[in-house]
A = this chain, B = another copy of it.
Amino acid sequence: MARTATPGSREKILCTAGGLFYRHGVRAVGMNQVIDAVGCGKNLLYTHFPSKDDLVAAYLRACRRERDRSSAAFTEQVPGDDPAARLRALVGEIAATATRPDFRGCAFRLYLTEFPEDEGEPARVARDYLRDTRAEIDGLVARLDVSDPGQLADRIWLIVEGLYASAARPGTAAAAATATRLVEDLLADATPN
């Protein structure tokens, strides 16, 4: 043997490609562009990721890991297991993510609007994320003592969608503040407390 085999090359590829995909859109970024940006040979990229779909799926899986990590970091700060506090934390985490300077939208939602008819692995990863997030909200709201849990969950979900969408446009901070405040008011109104 010679040259230790691939130290952190896979991570580097994934990170670089992910940045390009997120910033410019998946379809707008070609494989050659990824290779140029990484500064590696075609061989290396195609051994790690046999096709663009594989690379895109890995990119979305990495986004998922990052989202779960960030979400966990936020929710584990809330003491006890007060569902209302967890809901506020959940929305607060999204608001915090959305106000980061390089935010351009939710990676999964962006992918799904770019490939509305995709049924492959990337679309599965994206749809799973949306389903799981929605389920998390439903589960938390169900533990609340409110008269119409379904309606409240629907409303919070609507606000989350609105936050992701409008934070991608100018006025990000205002959108984040509006969403958090609105969810807080909704929770305050709904729970007798």
A contact residues vs B (CB 8 Å cutoff): 23-25, 27-28, 104-105, 109-110, 112-117, 130, 151, 154-155, 157-166, 168-169, 174-175, 178-179, 181-182
**How many copies are assembled?**
2
CA distance A181 to B166 in the complex (A): 20
- Shortest beta-carbon distance from A22 to chain B in Å: 10
Given A161-B165, A165-B109, CB of A151 within 8 Å of CB of B181 = yes
Beyond A155-B182, A158-B178, 16 extra complex contacts between A and B, CB < 8 Å:
A24-B117, A27-B27, A27-B28, A27-B114, A113-B113, A113-B168, A114-B114, A154-B178, A155-B178, A158-B159, A158-B162, A158-B163, A161-B162, A161-B165, A161-B166, A161-B175
User: 5 A-B residue contacts at CB 8 Å?
Assistant: A25-B113, A158-B166, A160-B162, A161-B165, A162-B165
Is the pair A116, B24 in contact by a Cβ cutoff of 8 Å? yes
CA distance A25 to B117 in the complex (A): 10
